Structure 1
Amino acid sequence: MKNWYHSWRAAIRIARRDAWRFKGRSFLVLAMLALPILGVSAADLTLRSADLTAAQQLDRDLGRADARVSDPHMGGVPLMQNPEGDNYQPVKSYDDEPWPEGEMDVTTALPAGNESLVDSEGTAKLRTTHGLLSTSVRELRAADPMAEGIMVLDRGRFPRASGEVAATDAFLESSGLHVGSKLTARGFDTSYRIVGAYELPDSLNTAQVNALPGALLAPLDKALAAAELPGTQMSTTYLTSVSGDAGFTWNMVKEANAKGATVISRAVVLDPPPDSDVPLYQKEGASDFGGGSANATELAIISTVVGLAMLEICLLAGPAFAVGARRSRRQLGLVGANGGDRHHIRAIVLSGGLVIGAVAAVVGTVLGIVLTFALQPVLEAFLGKRFGSFDLRPLELIAIALVAVVTGLLAAIVPAVTASRQTVVASLTGRRGIRKSSRVLPVLGLSAVVLGAGIALYGSTASDQTMIVAGGSALAELGVVALTPALVGLFGRIGRWLPLSPRLALRDAVRNRGRTAPAVAAVLAAVAGTVAVATYTASSDAQAEARYEPELPYGAVAVLSPESAADVPSMREDAQKVLPTEVRADVDRVVVGKKSCSSYGDGDECGRYEIVTPKAYECPLWAYGETDEDPSEKFSKAERRKLAKDWRCEQGGTGLGSVGGEILVGDDKLLKVLEINNPEASEALANGRAVSFSKRIFTPEGAADAGKGGAKGGAVAAPKGGLNGTIDVRVVSAAQMKEAESAGESDAEKQPGTVKKLPAHQFSGSENAYGVTVIVPPDAAEKAGMTTVPFGSFFTTEKLPSDAQQQKLAGELDKTGSDPWLTIEKGFVPENSATLLALAVFAGLITIGAAGIATGLAQADAEADLKTLAAVGAPPRVRKALSGFQCGVVAAMGVVLGSASGILPAVGLRFTERRAEDLMYARMMDEGWSSGEEATAPFVPVVIPWETLGVLLVVVPLGAAVLAALVTRSRGALARRAAI
């Protein structure tokens, strides 16, 4: 024991002295070990601090109150809820009865004799320095001690009088207002003074205004109602405190449920009752939804990232210890010459990893804590929420720090074994001997690649376990790492076609595979992880973009007035004055009755119109006929699935085109705004024909019998595009509607009316019409005897309008006194674009760092070769060029291999998600489609982020080479004759 202790003590002292002696190499290894520890410890501290405990979350939701009592809008019927209050349902089953709806008086569910605080929320259009901004308004006495913690005051104070408000910093920044400014709301003459700025700890980017209860929302709603403008749609909850230490107990929650209210109780959430005492859990069919799949995916990703990070550190630090051992081989030879055996030499090299690993653990952990503390405001702004507390968890930080120590030891194992196997004579003379490449390692690597790819393929096609995909991908990547030395040799074969400097760099990389291969594998690991996450993220964005349904083409603007036609001309001029518009397409709408009738047909003297669908073109799943029996019940599941894909049962497109009704009256300019480039449609409008974008309403010429047959579900051929024909429009006057209603006929389709035929052209293109059903030219509408009124305009823009321009236009439109629709299509905004950029930058930095470290080790290991080049007359620039190409070669090989291997886990995870969605879709189809909606199969694409790959494949190796060449001295130190 004594000999063991003293031998290791001596080994640690030698390793410490050696590390201090070669500060440059030691700093490189220290940085490699400390940086990941710094990042992981900072990430752990950030996530723990941002992850609120239940008590902290309740403080932000309830303040100091004991509970929040809410109206679930179920008419006050008795309810059952879970302890958290986010899942509830009626006690009674309403399978054969209408689902309960309606409001209740929440005050009846409050405990008697206890203090309560009203908390109301709504939305109002507030006037800003730019114009109008739709903003959340919250009426809560924020200065009350019961509300402490819900809102955090930044400057000024909370409102104390009805004429005062406070605003979030996000609202002040967006609106251009400040503390002390006056604030007014649309449709309300009363002004308010902003007396303070606050923030919502859980949502720092929310624009909100705070007022006292009854100060803004209720009078504003009353004023808007008087002006016949839309109200605020206010919702109200109650914060309540109860006497006693028990708080709002579970029995009190069940009493409130019996009166129709739901409750979030602090006492119940912190100390939930047993499941046997929760009636909701006892009801058959009741369930709580969890995120097991998402958690498993997150765990798989975290495990893979941590494992690859440790592998990367070992791969980078291992060559450094190997080079250090070679630089100290004379010293190690002297140890052997003085009686030291192999285990003493191994102990010395391992002690180097232990010493530097321990120092890196301390430095990385301390810097991680300091950096997180210093950057806390930045991190909170990035997360959009405040930390609950600066949550230091010593055990977790110690475990993270131990990773550096363990990794340092693991990285030094191979160099230690290699150094211990050298003979004393070889160590003292500096000879390396003849080294042969292992033939077993490539076989093992290839086997691991095949086995890992097979496991990942199985996990993605035959299982829904993401851990299987992650495990198989990790195994395949380890196989690629094992194959790296052999692959480096294959790269060396292209050296014969390269100039001198890159040929020397590539030859040196192949010749010293023990140094090059780990560095290439480290770059491979970093790039593979980045490519995997980038591919998965890009695929998710593509899926979200495919599901996104734009209301208009990108950059297009719509200013529409469904109710008032008198203000439309001024609205059109305002839009052209404020926005950078190009093409303006004016449209009218059809009214039946007075011109003052709205698009919704409100008013006693307002009728309606509808486009008649020929009987043959009616969807059999929707054809009720003379009875009220559900028509879908007439068909089997197989027939329903088939009919769900029938063209007659397709749903119309979404967009703003249907706001004014099924008919828009306009000309060819509307086609230009909708980006419909169809000469036949333009010619039809010019010739006075309507253009139909729906096949179900169009009757081709010579097809007068289209109204016969097809109702029983038989196949009916769709009318071809590009044909001329007619469209039937049934007009029902107000008098006819009243007569039918007085006769007891409430079904709109069975009310009498006058059918008018419009000459029409069936659209033959594939462009999106954005919800437009029919475009009728003005002269055709006039010829058919239709009454039209101005509806609004559609615009194309030179560039996307800014938020300030949108607010300004909203303010100008408000001067008309009406409530127009203002829509600016900003297109799909990917949530992960910043993530992809950050990943590319991260991978670039890691790649450049790893390649730079490999280059530094190559220069230290091949100093004699550089001196030989100088001795034979090589110009100084050769040293810079050689250094740059050495760095570029390592980066290029690692990026190419990493890009290829990083796609596998992303594709596997996407296939797993695709399989899960396909199974869910199949299950839904098995249950049958009774609604008649089109059955759309899930779309789960796999998208390769070519831009990110381009940056990694081209920019990163080139940047690494240039950077290495710039920082390398053109002249080395003069060589001394080596001592013998």
Structure 2
Amino acid sequence: MRAWYRSWRVALRIARRDAWRFKGRSFLVLAMIALPILGVSAADLTLRSAQLSPAESLTRQIGGADARVKDLDLGGVPVMQDPADALSYTTAKDYGDGAWPSGAGDLAAALPAGTRTLSDTSAQVSLRTTHGILDTEVRELAADDPLAKGILRPVEGRFPAAAHEVAATTHFLKASGLRVGSELTARDLGTKYRIVGSYELPDALGTDQVDLRPGALLGPLRTALAAKGLPPFTADTSRLVGVPGGRGFTWNMVRTANAHGFSALSRAVVLHPPARADVPYFRHNSPSPGGDGVVVTSILVTVVGLAMLEICLLAGPAFAVGARRSRRQLGLVGANGGDRRHIRAVVLGGGVVIGAASAVVGTVAGVALTFALRPVLEGAIGRRFGHFTVHPAELLAIAGLAVLTGVLAAIVPAVTASRQTVLSSLTGRRGVRRSSRVLPALGLAAVVLGAAVAVYGSAVSNRPAVVVAGSALAELGFVALTPALVGLFGRLGRLLPLSPRLALRDAVRNRGRTAPAVAAVLAAVAGTVAVSTYAASSDAQERAAYQPALPHGAVFVLTGSGGGRDAAAARTAVVKSLPVRLRANVDRIQIGAASCNEYSYEPGCGHVEIDVPKAHQCPMWTYGESGREVRLTTAQRRAYASDPRCRDEAGSDVAGGILVGDANLLRVLGIHDPAAEHALAAGRAVSLARRNLSTDGGSTVALRVYADMAKTQAALDKGERPESTLVTLPATEVAGDPAAYGVQLLMSPATARAAHLGAVPYGGYYTTSSPPTGAQQQRADAAVADLGSSVTLHIEKGYTSHYGIVLLSLGLFAGLITLGAAGIATGLAQTDAEADLKTLAAVGAPDRVRRTLSGFQCGVVAAMGVVLGSLAGVLPSIGLRLTERRSELAGYRQDLARGLADGKVPHVPIVVPWGTLALLLVAVPVGAALLAAAVTRSQRSLSRRAAT
């Protein structure tokens, strides 16, 4: 034991001295290992610090209260809940398809006697800012009350103490242009409020919110909206609860609240949960298996493993060259009685020394940077840390990962150095080295087996993990085959000029440093090609499925609520902001009060829809006299799935497909039909779909009017046919089969009035003289945003790829890895072949030979890695796309059997990203060669060549 300790102590001393002598090479390897360690340690600290303890999380949710209680508006019927999650609940009785209870519960009966409560109410309200109007969450909570302490974190000033005071989040002040001391008003309410302080929500730093005293704004605003006939907002109310005596809100109290239709988040219950057997919710609701943690762990292990492989492949040649340059020193170890294990220990000691130094540098830098950048990290994740958490065991494990990586990178050079004889080490001769035949055989077997597994996963199994596993095995096989493949590339040397031939010969002769660099490039490029091919294929699929809402370059602005009060302002905003060429104002049919929204189920609000003749209806969606869906056999559904009547029902209609306007709308939609325009002017409705017209000559269209959607929905829930009236209009069909973009029927205002159909302003459709620029669109968005959240502005730009930046980023990433790996290999080659370069200079080689040789050495490594990586990367992406195709086809067949399919076979293409491949196959190797040649000095040194 003592001899082992002494030998390793000497080995580490030699390795430390050697690392200090060759600082450039040591720093290169140290940086390669330390940078990932820095990132991993910083990520660990960030995640641990952002992970709140149960007590910290409760303080942010319920402040200093014992519990937060919420009425579930179920009429007080008993419920069952998860003790740790008040939002996970279910009624004690299963109501099925029947009428679910509604109404307020009895708060006094739900809480113990003597309990103190504090209301917490919030709603979305439009507030006036310096820029216009901003839709903001208004909260009415007495934040200075001890029960609420910790929910809102003060930043500047104080919390409101009077009804006319308000505090706002820092994010709202930044977005609104206001500050502490400014006045704030709400839309539709003339009361002015003074901003007396700012605060932040620790769990949601990016929230726009203002806080007032209870009843200060929401109550008066609701009264003002009712006076104007406008729809009310929806408020969410809960209560903070303080139980007397300091006993807390126990599990029995939670059960009592549940029995009266309330859910409760209790501090005592979360910190000391009851047994699962005592929780009725768990007896009726089995938790889903926690497979997400396993998936995340598998992904993390895979990423860490690939990162370690990449580092080992890049750092291994550096240790190999270092061992060769220290071969005389290693020979002296052998000459003085050292055996192979001592030589291995010296080289492995280099890995330990560099790994330990990398662990210290990376871990310390990670801790320091995370601590210094804490505000930046909190802003990035959108929440405050609970406290700066350091887990020494985890940091030590990360540091051990650095040491392990250094040792793994030095294993192969250590074994190679230990196999050299003492004589060859002292003389500097390398001898005759034969390539291993076992490694290529194992690599070929891995490639074949991995490809077979990937093919099985894509052709038989529905699990993408099988394809990924097979592809990973095949990629590892390619890595093992790299030395043999490098030798095959060497046969091309006879066809090349002098400099590239020398570079290729050097790469083949020194596979110990060439093959790992090529393998590193292979791994990076393979991943890039796989992701790029998958992204390009997904992009093509999304492009084919994209359905434009308007002709290219056209614009619409629509208001679906508020009785059309914002329509005029929205139309003006579009005209002022965009290069409008043709304008078409449109209205929508309004059934009921003017305050009813477009799709409102409030009592007294109705709805109108086109009554399609039965002969034109899709048989899969027909209903009997009782209002229930007609049952069809599987064979009938399969036959009807491809029926044109069923395909026509796909798509999204605007305002139920019925608009009130003039002929300009047809022109905006790209429809040029003089007959339809004349018919519209003559008082006839214009149908943009043949299926809407009557079967007796096609001269009329029927509209079904439901006066009260609340009653309509209640009748449908009972399986009854709801009450409605039928309105028949003279109609004309638009010639051809135009793209209607969600518009099925157009009528003039006079036609709507003649049919006793009320209409309210809806918005406008526009064509533009030129495609709107980014600045013009921003102005339009800002102008519309100032009107509130109920206005929709759409500028049709066609399909926009979301993968362009992804493909570019992947190409740049692979290019950087390739340049780095090729540059490392080139630098090591120059260091390793210094004697050969001096010989070239001695025999009269021109100055440019050194530069061109360096460039071709770098280009050769990059080219070989890129070619092999491209071949290896295509397999997983194709396998995954084939798996998705099989999965979507299976889902389509199931939907077809149930009558849910629309007759369109899923389109899952496989697209090769030729642009990315061209960048990798041509631009990256050429760029690497030119860069290496540019940074290499052309020196003609005639110093004495070392004896060999």
Scaled to the shorter chain, the TM-score interval is 0.7 to 0.9
Contact 1:15 1:349 in 2 (8 A): yes
1:799 corresponding residue in structure 2: 773
Is 1:262 aligned to residue 263 of structure 2? yes
Question: 1:234 aligns to what?
Answer: 235
Please say if residues 71 and 105 of structure 2, whose CA atoms lie closer than 8 Å, have aligned partners that are also in contact. yes
C-alpha distance in 1 between matches for 2:308 and 2:599? 65
CA contact under 8 A between 2:537 and 2:910: conserved in structure 1? Answer: yes
Q: Indicate the SS of the match to 2:190.
A: strand
The Cα of 1:221 is off from its aligned counterpart by: 2.1
- Asked whether the equivalents of residues 297 and 467 of structure 1 are also in contact (C-alpha less than 8 Å), the reply is no
Decide which moves more: 489-498 or 585-594.
585-594
> 1:761 — aligned with what?
734
Identity of aligned residues (%): 57
SS state of the match for residue 188, structure 1? Answer: coil
Aligned to 1:627: 626
Q: Name the structure 2 match of 1:43.
A: 43
SS of the aligned residue for 2:412 comes to helix
Q: 3-state DSSP class of the match of 1:180?
A: coil
Query: CA deviation digits over 1:811-863, x for unaligned, max 9?
Result: 4x68xxxx973433588898888777665555444333322222211111111
Post-superposition offset of 1:13: 1.6
- From 325, 331, 334, give the equivalent of 1:333: 331
Instruction: Report Cα offsets for 1:723-778 as digits up to 9, x if no partner.
Output: xx5442358799xxx9xxxxxxx99887565533312126524x4x3321123578
Q: Which moved more, 1:241-250 or 1:135-144?
A: 241-250
8 Å contact 2:230–2:563 — kept in the other structure?
no
Residue 964 (structure 1) aligned with residue 932 (structure 2): yes
Please tell me whether the aligned partners of residues 642 and 903 of structure 2 are also in contact (alpha carbons under 8 angstroms): yes
Residue range with higher mean Cα deviation, 647-656 or 178-187: 647-656
Give the superposition deviation at 1:88: 1.4
Are residues 1:823 and 2:793 paired? Answer: yes
Using the TM superposition, give the Cα deviation of residue 642 of structure 1 relative to its aligned residue in structure 2, in angstroms.
4.8
Larger mean CA deviation between 898-907 and 132-141 belongs to 898-907
Structure 1 contact 698–762 (Cα < 8 Å) conserved:
no
Following superposition, the deviation at residue 51 of structure 1 comes to: 3.0
Q: Distance in 2 between matches of 1:923 and 1:733?
A: 35
Paired with 1:799 and 1:825, the residues of 2 have a C-alpha distance of 11
Report the Cα offset of residue 213 of structure 1.
Answer: 1.9
Q: Corresponding residue for 1:863?
A: 834
CA drift at 1:390: 2.0
Alignment of 1:179-578 (within 5 A): 179-244=180-245, 246-283=247-284, 286-289=285-288, 292=291, 294-459=292-457, 462-463=460-461, 468-495=466-493, 500-532=498-530, 556-560=555-559, 571-578=570-577
The question of whether the paired residues in 2 share the 8 Å contact of 1:74 and 1:101 is answered with: yes
Farther-moved stretch of structure 1 (58-67 vs 311-320) = 58-67
Deviations 1:485-533 (A, max 9, x none): 2332344455556555444433332332221110111222234345555
Shift of 1:133: 1.7
Do the aligned residues in 1 keep the contact of 2:641 with 2:896 (CA within 8 Å)? no
Matches within 5 A, 1:627-776: 627-628=626-627, 630-632=628-630, 634-640=631-637, 642-643=639-640, 646-649=643-646, 652=649, 655=652, 657-658=654-655, 662-672=658-668, 674=669, 676=670, 684-685=676-677, 692-699=687-694, 704=696, 725-730=698-703, 753=726, 755-761=728-734, 763-765=736-738, 767=739, 769-776=740-747
Compared with structure 1, are the counterparts of its residues 507 and 795 closer, same or farther at alpha carbon in structure 2 (3 Å cutoff)? farther
Measured in 1, the distance between the counterparts of 2:666 and 2:826 equals: 62
> Is the alpha carbon distance of 1:553 and 1:425 closer, same or farther for their aligned partners in structure 2, counting shifts above 3 Å?
same
1:155 is aligned to 156
Opposite residue 657 of structure 1, the aligned amino acid is V
**1:439 aligned partner, one-letter code:** R
Letter of the 1:728 counterpart: V
Matched-pair contact (CA < 8 Å) for 1:611–1:697:
yes
1:576: how far off?
Answer: 1.0
Cα 1:75–1:16 change in 2 (3 A) is same
CA distances 1:641-676 after superposition (whole Å, capped 9, x unpaired) = 6546644445745556226x624433255553x4x4
Residues 351 and 407 of structure 2 are in contact (CA less than 8 Å); yes or no, is this contact kept in structure 1? yes
Matched, 1:142 2:127: no
Q: 1:394 to 1:609 in 2, by over 3 A?
A: closer
1:259 positional shift = 0.5
Q: Is this contact kept in 2: 1:593–1:733, CA < 8 A?
A: no
User: Which position in structure 1 is the counterpart of 2:174?
Assistant: 173
How far apart are residue 199 of structure 1 and its match?
A: 2.5
1:863–1:606 CA distance, 2 compared to 1 (3 A): closer
Residue 636 of structure 1: how far off its partner (Å): 3.2
Relative to structure 1, the CA distance from residue 288 to residue 804 in structure 2 (aligned partners, 3 Å threshold; closer, same or farther) is farther
Shift in Å at residue 78 of structure 1?
Answer: 0.9
Distance 1:238 1:820, change over 3 A: closer
1:636 alignment partner AA: T
Query: For 1:608-627, what aligned pairs fall within 5 Å after superposition?
Result: 610-627=609-626
What is the deviation of 1:687? 6.7
| CA 1:569–1:21: 2 relative to 1, 3 Å | closer
Question: What is the identity, as a one-letter code, of the residue corresponding to 2:6?
Answer: H
One-letter code of the match for 1:441? L
| 2:838 aligned partner, one-letter code | K
1:345–1:420: 8 Å Cα contact kept in structure 2? yes
CA 268–344 in structure 1, closer or farther in 2 if over 3 Å, else same: same
Are the equivalent residues in 1 in contact too, given 2:842–2:941 (CA < 8 A)?
no
CA distance in 1 between partners of 2:540 and 2:220 (Å): 45
Aligned with 1:975 (options 924, 943, 948): 943
Q: Matched residue of 1:195: which SS?
A: strand
- 1:350: Cα distance to partner? 1.6
Q: Aligned partners of 1:448, 1:302: CA distance in 2, in Å?
A: 23
Provide TM-score, normalisation by structure 2.
0.87
Q: Could you say what secondary structure the match of 2:729 adopts?
A: strand
What is the identity, as a one-letter code, of the residue corresponding to 1:5? Answer: Y
**Inter-CA distance 233–749: structure 2 relative to 1 (3 Å threshold):** closer
Over the aligned positions, Cα root-mean-square deviation in angstroms equals 4.1
Deviates more, 1:271-280 or 1:256-265: 271-280
TM-score (norm 1): 0.84
Task: Name the CA distance, whole Å, in 2 between partners of 1:217 and 1:642.
Answer: 55
| Structure 2 counterpart of 1:719 | none
Code of the aligned partner of 1:823: L
CA separation of 1:155/1:594 partners in 2, compared to 1, >3 Å: closer, same or farther? Answer: closer
Q: CA deviation at 1:170?
A: 2.7
Give the aligned residue type for 2:937. Answer: R
| Structure 2 runs not aligned, ≥5 long | 712-718
In 2, are the aligned partners of 1:64 and 1:148 still within 8 Å (CA)? yes
SS at match of 1:137: strand
**What do the CA deviations read for 1:464-490 (whole angstroms, capped 9, x no partner)?**
656544433322211010111233234
Matched, 1:895 2:870: no
2: CA distance between counterparts of 1:393 and 1:324? 36
Aligned amino acid, residue 626 of structure 2: T
- Note the C-alpha offset of 1:558: 0.9
SS of the aligned residue for 2:144 comes to coil
Hey, what's the Cα distance between the residues in 2 that align with 1:605 and 1:31?
A: 71
Partner of residue 6, structure 2: 6
Secondary structure class of the residue paired with 2:90:
strand
Distance in 1, matches of 2:416 and 2:601, equals 90
> Could you report, residue by residue, the CA deviation over 1:65-88 in whole angstroms, capped at 9, with x for unpaired residues?
222212223222111112222321
Structure 1 spans left out of the alignment, 5+ residues: 706-724, 739-745
Contact kept in structure 1, 2:577 and 2:777, CA below 8 Å: no
Greater Cα offset, 863-872 or 590-599 = 590-599
Change (3 A) 1:909 1:240: farther
Partner residue of 2:716?
none
Deviation at 1:880, TM superposition (A): 3.3
Q: 1:227 Cα shift?
A: 1.8
Question: How far has the Cα of 1:413 moved from its partner?
Answer: 1.8
